[in-house]
Amino acid sequence: MFKGVLFDLDGVIADTSTLHFDAWKKLVNNYFSAKLPDSLEEKTKGVSRGDSLKVILNYLDVSVSDTMFQRLLVEKNQTYLASLENLSIKDRLPGITEFITELKQHEIKLALASASLNGPAILDKLELRDAFEAIADPSKVPYGKPAPDIFIAAAKALELNPRDCVGIEDSSAGITAINHSGAYSVAVGTHPELKAANMLLASTAELNLDTIRQAYPHN
């Protein structure tokens, strides 16, 4: 049986995933009078703020000065934070409350392995901070997802080997990261690129201990 669960945040615990992309779309509209196609959303999911901006600038085929790059990051985050103003317990994704309760009952440890620098503040708004034994700091790992660093750091913060952990993700970058960390990957969502996961669930509502325990290979 696994001893820890390493959670992604946006799109797994919180209904915030589209808010990130909405903020990028607004920024791009304001600064470049351009529209981002929905297909770009998957390429920014799980990807750090700076790396997401690089993906977007690359799509737009524009280059900006370092000062402008930083200004765009600040402004995107301001728009994103404004959209979180009313975030509360109601924005936990379906099944998350029950799944976390189940994990706690079985004394399985929880760590956050999100690329978001806003992770701790969002857990506070969702009233979930106390449920987590550890929050891996994305600013302290050398490489962001799809590199495995944040999942390795999250397992380490729980004093566990990644092999003894399950990682949960809604992004393809995140599934690649979990797979390379050595943890057992569970994807939630329907995007075709999630097929690389060890276990694929259509939504967070399907997360439950028994389903994962039965498939987990190191029992």
Q: Catalytic residues, which ones?
A: 8, 10
Whichever of 171 and 198 has its CB closer to ligand G6P, that residue is 171
Q: Does 45 bind ligand G6P (CB under 6 A)?
A: yes
Q: How many residues bind ligand G6P (CB under 6 A)?
A: 16
Find out whether 115 is annotated in a ligand binding site: yes
**Cβ partners under 8 Å of residue 7, min gap 6:** 13, 110, 111, 112, 113, 114, 132, 167, 168
Whichever of 52 and 198 has its CB closer to Mg ion, that residue is 52
Task: Report helix, strand or coil for 12.
Answer: coil
Residues 115-174 that bind ligand G6P (CB under 6 A): 115-118
Q: Give the C-alpha separation, 101 to 35, whole Å.
A: 41
Q: Which does 118 bind (CB under 5 to 8 A by kind): ligand G6P, Mg ion, none?
A: ligand G6P
Sign, CA dihedral 50-77-44-135, equals positive
Binds ligand G6P (CB under 6 A): choice among 6, 14, 28, 44: 44
Sign, CA dihedral 141-123-120-125, equals positive
Strand order, beta sheet including 109-112 = 134-135, 109-112, 4-7, 165-169, 184-188, 199-201
Structure tokens that stand for 9 in this block: 């945040």
Q: Alpha helices of the chain — where are they, by DSSP H?
A: 17-32, 40-44, 49-60, 66-83, 96-105, 119-125, 149-157, 172-181, 209-215
Find out whether 172 is annotated in a ligand binding site: no
Find out whether 51 is annotated in a ligand binding site: no
As measured in angstroms, the least distance from the Cβ of 60 to ligand G6P is 17
Find out whether 170 is annotated in a ligand binding site: yes
Q: Which does 162 bind (CB under 5 to 8 A by kind): Mg ion, ligand G6P, none?
A: none
CB-based contact 146:197 (threshold 8 Å): no
Whichever of 65 and 189 has its CB closer to Mg ion, that residue is 189
Find out whether 130 is annotated in a ligand binding site: no
Whichever of 153 and 209 has its CB closer to ligand G6P, that residue is 153
Packing angle, helices 17-32 and 49-60, rounded to 10: 50
Site residues for ligand G6P per CB under 6 A: 10, 17, 20, 44-49, 52, 77, 114-118
Binding site per annotation, positions: 8-10, 24, 52, 76, 114-118, 145, 169-170
Binding site per annotation, positions for substrate: 8-10, 24, 52, 76, 114-118, 145
Binding site per annotation, positions for Mg(2+): 8, 10, 169-170
